[in-house]
Homo-oligomer: A and B are copies of this chain.
């Protein structure tokens, strides 16, 4: 159903400071940086093999990442699995009774199509399905 881990999402208080940690201490290259209005975050993608660490900081006080930071502090926020057929995956999940946060794909970073599955259906892990845009 999924090809591989696309990224892990990490909620951080300060994007520049966190980029410096992953770049300078963990040796990961910054591949991309973008404000994603749909989710109220500014995000940076750090390369690790064919996957990424996605650092996320809120740009709006009511965004999911802002609420996560308030409740839990900085740390791992979600894991994302890559697919080339997000509608097919969502259809199958619906048939199997999984609880979806997004019934339809939304626009994520780098024009990807993404949908979140509720942690209640995945053993406590906020899980994202991502179909990258052509060329990414």
Contacts and interface: CB of A to CB of B under 8 A. Distances in A.
Contacts of A124: 10-12, 73-76
Contacts of A122: 21-22, 25-26
A87 to B, nearest CB: 16
Contacts of A1: 26-27
How many of chain A's residues touch chain B, expressed as a range?
Answer: 35 or more
Interface of A: 1-5, 8, 10-12, 17-18, 21-22, 24-28, 48-51, 53, 55, 72-76, 78-79, 81, 93, 96, 98, 119, 121-125, 127
16 contacts: A1-B26, A2-B28, A5-B48, A8-B76, A10-B123, A10-B124, A18-B123, A21-B121, A25-B93, A25-B96, A25-B122, A73-B124, A75-B119, A76-B76, A76-B124, A76-B125
